[in-house]
Structure 1
Amino acid sequence: MTPRFTDPDVLADAVIDRVGRRIVLGLPLGLGKANHVVNALVARALRDPSLHLHVFTALTLEPPRPKSDLEKRFLGPIIERTLGGYPALAYAELQRRDVLPANIEVDEFFFQASTRLSAPSAQRSYISANYTHAAGYLRERGVNVVAQLVARRGDRFSLSCNTDITLDLLAARKAGEADFLLVGQVNDELPFMPGDGDLPAEAFSHLLDGPGVQFPLFAPPKEPIPDASYAIGFHAASLVPDGGTIQMGIGAISDAVAQGLIVRHREPKAFVETVERLSPTATPPICGGSFETGLYAATEMFVDCLLDLRRAGVLKREVDGAVLHGGFFLGPRAFYQALRDMPEDERARFQMQAISGINEIYGDEAARRAARVDARFVNTAMMATLLGAVISDGLDDGRVVSGVGGQYNFVAQAFALQGARSVITLPAVRGSGRKAASNILWTYAHGTIPRHLKDVVITEYGAADLRGRTDRDTIVRMLNIADSRFQPALLDEAKRAGKLEAGYVIPEAFRRNTPDRIAEALAPAKAAGLAPLLPFGSDFDAVEQGLLPVLGRLKAAQGDPAALVGYILRGVSAPAPEAGLRRLGLSSPMTLGERLLTWAVRGAAAG
C-alpha cells in the first residue's frame, strides 16, 4: 500500500528517510507543482544545513507584482480574487531576494516572463534547454524525487495538468534509466484527465491528501486583446488550412488567433474583408472559408481558447479519438471548471501525453506524420531581425526573460513535416510615445531561432513568408511588416551592409504601417462584434471591464508626457466615472498625487 499523509512535514521526513540527505527534486513546470511538499522540504533544508536540496523545474508561477499606484489599485483586488489562496513557493521568494542558502540550489529552464530579470542567482542557474531535453538533464543530475500535483478518482490518480516530463521520466524509470520516488499531492480542483497520465496508487511512493493541503489552482485572468494582437491573430488565422493541425500558446495573441479562426468559420466573408483591410497585399495567400473537416491540435500547452475552438466547431478533426493532444495546461478558473464538468467521453477527446510525443515526431514517426497534416505552429516572440532570426527568450545583455521552451521543437517540426509552417508572431512595436521602440531590428546579440530556420513572421502589418528567400528578399519582406516610424532607419542599416541595393525604396503600400491604420482597418469588425476586447469570458466585473480602455489610454500616455498632461487637464472639468473611481479608491482623493491620478482617470475616460 502506498503510504498516505495529511501533514507535509511528516511526509518530508519520510522522503528523507528513503533517499537520504541529498535530494534532487524534479518538479513539473507550471501548475503541476506539489507546493506543500516542496515547501516542507525547503523548510527542512533551511533548518538543517547538512541537508542538500537541489530543485530542477521550470515556470514557477507567482502572482503579478503591480508597479505603479494605479496598477495596484486596479490589479490588487483582481489578483486577490483570482489568485488568492494559492500557496507561494518558498524557494521562489528566497530566489527573488537572492538569499538562497548554500545547501539549496534551484535550476530552471523556463521563467515566468520577466520575473527573474533582477534575480542574479536565478540568472546564473538558468539552463538554456529545449523542453524535450529537460527530462534527460534531470536524469543526468540523478533525480531521486519527483513531486507532482494530481487529481483523484477512487484509487486512481491522474497527472492531469502535467503529463509532459513526468511520463518521460516514468518511462525512463521503467527502463532502468532512472530511480526516483514519485510523490503525489492530491488537489480536488484538478480535473481528472484520462489517458496516459491515469495511474494507479502503486505508481506513487507517497501521497499527500487532506483538507489542510487543498488550495485553489493558479488561475491567471484573461487578458484583453489590443488592436495589434487582433490584427496579428486575423493574419495568422488566414494561414491555417481546413483539415490541418494547430499549435499555439497562451496570451492575447493566441486568443486573437482563436477568435480569428472562429470568425472565419462563422462569418467567412467578413473575415476575408477584415484581413484584406489589414494587409496591403495577400502574401501569403489568404485561406478563407468555413472549417468543414476542422482542425486537430498537437500542442505542448493546452490553453482555454482551444476549448472555444471546440465549442465553435473548428477543432473537430480526430486523431486516435482525440481532437487535441497536449503536454500541460494552464488557464483561468473557468477553464478548470469546464474540464471538470465536461462529460467523460468529451474529456477523453483532450488527451494529455508525454512532451516527447508532442514536441517531436520521433518514436512513432509514421503515425505522427500522418496526424500532423498541414501543421501551423503558431508561437510568439519578443523581437526579430531583418534577416529572419527570432528572439524569444532573452535580452541583449544575456539576461533571460523566459526561456526557449518548446519553440525550437515546433520550428524544427515545421521543416520536418510536409506542408507544415512555423508562424512566429510579434507586435511590430513595444511601448508608446517617446518610449516606442521597434521589435524589428537589424541585428541582436543572440537569437532563439536562427535565421536559417526562418519561415513565416507576422506583425500587425502583415505576414512575411521568408522560407527559402535570399537575404535581400527576406529584408524586403520584413521591412514591409515593420512599423513605418522605424522603416527608414532599418532600411539604411540594410543598405550600409550591402544587403539592399542603394536605390531600393519601400513600396508605397507598406509606408502606412501605423497604429491608426490598424485601428481603422479593424473598426468594422469591432463594430460588428467580431473583435471584442474579451471574446472568451473574463474575470473582470462590468466596472473593471469599463475601466480597461481608460487604463489602456493612460498606459500608452506613459511614454508621452504631453498626452498625460492633456488627460490631467481635461480631467479637471470632465465628468467623473463614479463607479470606476470608487473601484479604484479615488472617490475622495486626499493627497495631491491622488488628485492628479483622479484627474488623469477622468480625462482618459472622457476619450
Structure 2
Amino acid sequence: MTPRFTDPDALADAIIERVGRRIVLGLPLGLGKANHVVNALVARALKDPSIHLHVFTALTLEPPRPKSDLEKRFLGPIIERTLGGYPALAYAELQRRDALPSNIEVDEFFFQAGTRLSTPSAQRSYISANYTHAAGYLRERGVNVVAQLVARRGDRLSLSCNTDITLDLLAARRAGQDDFMLVGQVNDELPFMPGDGDLPADAFSHLLDGPDVQFPLFAPPKEPIPDASYAIGFHAASLVRDGGTIQMGIGAISDAVAQGLIVRHRRPDVFVDTVRRLSPDQAAPVACGPFEMGLYAATEMFVDCLLDLWRAGVLKRQVDGAVLHGGFFLGPRAFYRALREMPEDERAKFQMQAISGINEIYGDEAARRAARVDARFVNTAMMATLLGAAVSDGLDDGRVVSGVGGQYNFVAQAFALEGARSIITLPAVRGSGRKAASNILWSYAHGTIPRHLKDVVVTEYGVADLRGRTDRDTIVRMLSIADSRFQPELLDEAKRAGKVEAGYVIPEAFRNNTPERIAEALKPARDAGLAPLLPFGSDFDAVEQGLLPVLGRLKAAQGDSRALLAYVWKGLGAPAPGDGLRRLGLEQPRTLNERVLALAVRGAAAG
C-alpha cells in the first residue's frame, strides 16, 4: 500500500529519510505543482542548512501584482475572488526577494511572463530549453523526487493537468534509467483525465491527502480581446484548413483565433466580409466555409477556448477517439468545472499525453504524420524583424521574459510535416499615442526563432507568407503588415543595408495601416455581437465588464500627461459611469489623488 499522509511536514520527513539530505525535486510546470509538499521541503531546508534542495521546474504561478493605484482598486477584488486561497510557493517568495539561501537552488526553463525580469538570481539560474528537452535536463541533474498534484477516482489517480514531463520521466524509470520517488498530492478540484496519465495508486511512493491540504486551483481570469487581437485572430482563422490540425496557446490572441473560427463556421458571410475589410489586399484568398470535417488539436497546452471550439462543432475530427491530445492545461475556474462535470465518454475525447508525443513527431512518426494533416501551429511573439526572425522570450540585454517553451518544437514540426505551417502572431504596435512603438523592427539582438525558419507572420494588418522568400521579398511582405507610422523608417533601414532597391515604394494599399482603420473594419462584427470583449465567459461581473474599456483608455494614456489631463478635464462635466466609481472606491473621493482619479475615470467613460 502506498503510504498516505495528511501532514506535509511528516511527508517531508519521510522523503528525506528515503532519499537523504540532497533532494533534486522535479515539479511540473504551471498548475500541477504539489504546493504543500514543496513548501514543507523548503521549510526543512531553511531550518537545516545540511539539507540541499534543488528545485527544477517552470511556470511558477503567482497572482499578478497591480502597479498603479487604479489597477489595485480594480484588480484587487478580482484577484482575491479568482486566485484567493491558492497557497503561495515559498521558494518563489524567497526568489523574488533574491533571498534564497545557498542550500536552496531553483532552476526554471519558463517564467510566468515578466515576473522575473528584475530578479537577478532567477535570471542567472534560468535554463533556455525546448520543452521536449526539459525532462532530459532534469534527469541529468539526478532527479530523486517528483511531486505532483493529482486527481482521484476510486483507487486510481490521474496526472490530470500535467502529463507532459512526468510521463516521460516515468517511461525512463520503467526502462531502468532512473530511480525517483513519485509523490502525489490529491486535489479534488482537479478533473480526472483518462488516458496515459490514469495511474494506479501504487505508481506513487507517497501521497498527501486530507482536508487541510485541499486548495482552490490557480485560475487566471479571461483577458478582454482588443481590436488588434481580433484582427489577428480573424486573419489567422482564414489560414486554417477544414479537416486539419490546430495548436495554440493561452491569451487574448488565441481566444480571438478561436472566435474567428467559430464565426467562420457559423457565419461565413460575416467572416469573409470582416477579413476583406481588414485586409487592403482584396485579392487575398480567404478560407471561408464552415467546418464539415472539423479540426483536431495536437497542442502542448489545452486551453479553454479549445473546449469552446468543440462545443461549437469546429473541433470534431477524431484521432484514436480523441479530438484533442494535449500536454498540460491551465485556465479559468469554469474550464476546470466543465472538465470535472463532463460525462466520462465526452471527457475521453480530450486525452493528455507526454510532451514528447505532442511537441515532436518522433517515436510513432508514421501515425503522427497521418494524424497531423494540414497542421496550423499558432504561437505568439513579442517582436519580429523585417527579415523574419521572431523574438518571443527575451530582451536584447539577455534578460528572460518567459521562455522558449514549445514554440521552436512547433515551428520545426511545421517544416517537417507536409502541408503544415507555423503562424507567428503579434500586434504590430505596443503602447499608444506618443508611447507607441513598433513590434516589427529592422533587427534585434536576441531571437527565439531564427530567420531561416520564417514561415507565416500575422499582425492586425494582415498576413505575411515568408516561407522560401528572398530577403528582399521577406522585407517587403513584413513592411505590408507593419504599422504605417513606422513604415518609412523601417524601409529606410532596409535600403541602407542594400536589402531593398532604392526606388522601392510601399504600395498605397498598405499605407493606411492604422488602429483607426482596424477599429472601423471590425465595427460591423462588433455591432453584430460576433466580436465581443469576452466571447468565452468571464470572471468579471457586469460592473467590472463595463469598466474594462474605460480602464483600457486610461492605460493607453499612461505616460502621456496631456492625454490624461484631457480625460480629467472632460470628467469635470461628465456623469459617473454607473456603479463604476463605487466599485473602484472613488464614489466619494477624499484625497486630491482620489479626486483626480475619479475625474479621469468619468472622462474616460464619456469616451
Return closer, same or farther for 1:282/1:207 CA change in 2, 3 Å cut-off.
Answer: farther
2:304 — aligned with what? 304
Distance 1:430 1:468 in 2: 29
User: How far has the Cα of 1:559 moved from its partner?
Assistant: 3.7
User: How far has the Cα of 1:564 moved from its partner?
Assistant: 1.0
Q: Is the 8 A contact 1:433 1:559 kept in 2?
A: no
Partner of 1:240, secondary structure, is coil
User: How far has the Cα of 1:286 moved from its partner?
Assistant: 1.3
Partner of 1:502, secondary structure, is coil
Return closer, same or farther for 1:517/1:186 CA change in 2, 3 Å cut-off.
Answer: same
Distance 1:281 1:175 in 2: 56
Q: State the one-letter code of the partner of 1:407.
A: Q
Q: Is the 8 A contact 1:326 1:358 kept in 2?
A: yes
Q: State the one-letter code of the partner of 1:298.
A: A
* Residues 7-46 of structure 1 mapped to structure 2, 5 A cutoff: 7-46=7-46
User: How far has the Cα of 1:285 moved from its partner?
Assistant: 2.4
Alpha-carbon deviations, 1:197-238, whole Å to 9, x = none? Answer: 000011000000000000000000000000000000000000
1:112 — aligned with what? 112
Q: State the one-letter code of the partner of 1:373.
A: V
Alpha-carbon deviations, 1:28-48, whole Å to 9, x = none? Answer: 000000000000000000000
| 1:461 matches 2:461 | yes
Distance 2:92 2:282 in 1: 47
1:153 — aligned with what? 153
User: How far has the Cα of 1:26 moved from its partner?
Assistant: 0.1
2:323 — aligned with what? 323
Distance 1:216 1:98 in 2: 28
Distance 1:392 1:502 in 2: 31
Distance 1:169 1:282 in 2: 51
* Residues 110-509 of structure 1 mapped to structure 2, 5 A cutoff: 110-281=110-281, 285-509=285-509
Alpha-carbon deviations, 1:94-133, whole Å to 9, x = none? Answer: 0000010000000000000000000000000000000000
1:517 — aligned with what? 517
User: How far has the Cα of 1:578 moved from its partner?
Assistant: 4.1
Distance 1:175 1:435 in 2: 56
Q: Is the 8 A contact 1:110 1:404 kept in 2?
A: yes
Q: Is the 8 A contact 1:258 1:309 kept in 2?
A: yes
Partner of 1:573, secondary structure, is coil
Distance 2:426 2:577 in 1: 34
2:90 — aligned with what? 90
Partner of 1:596, secondary structure, is helix
User: How far has the Cα of 1:432 moved from its partner?
Assistant: 1.1
User: How far has the Cα of 1:320 moved from its partner?
Assistant: 0.1
Distance 1:31 1:211 in 2: 19
Distance 2:87 2:276 in 1: 48
Alpha-carbon deviations, 1:451-480, whole Å to 9, x = none? Answer: 000000000000100000000000000000
Unpaired stretches in structure 1, ≥5 consecutive residues: none
Q: Is the 8 A contact 1:283 1:464 kept in 2?
A: no
Say what the alpha-carbon RMSD is for the aligned residues: 0.6
Distance 1:234 1:220 in 2: 24
Q: Is the 8 A contact 1:464 1:477 kept in 2?
A: yes
Per the normalisation by structure 2, the TM-score is 1.00
Distance 1:606 1:312 in 2: 36
Alpha-carbon deviations, 1:404-427, whole Å to 9, x = none? Answer: 000000000000000000000000
Distance 2:100 2:430 in 1: 34
Distance 1:283 1:64 in 2: 44
Q: State the one-letter code of the partner of 2:36.
A: H
Distance 2:288 2:509 in 1: 23
Per the normalisation by structure 1, the TM-score is 1.00
Report the count of equivalent residues: 607
Q: State the one-letter code of the partner of 2:331.
A: G
Q: Is the 8 A contact 1:426 1:458 kept in 2?
A: yes
Alpha-carbon deviations, 1:249-301, whole Å to 9, x = none? Answer: 00000000000000000000110010000011157621110000000000000
Q: Is the 8 A contact 1:303 1:329 kept in 2?
A: yes
Distance 2:202 2:111 in 1: 33
User: How far has the Cα of 1:560 moved from its partner?
Assistant: 2.6
Distance 2:578 2:97 in 1: 40
1:544 — aligned with what? 544
Unpaired stretches in structure 2, ≥5 consecutive residues: none
Partner of 2:151, secondary structure, is strand
Q: State the one-letter code of the partner of 2:585.
A: G
Distance 1:191 1:282 in 2: 46
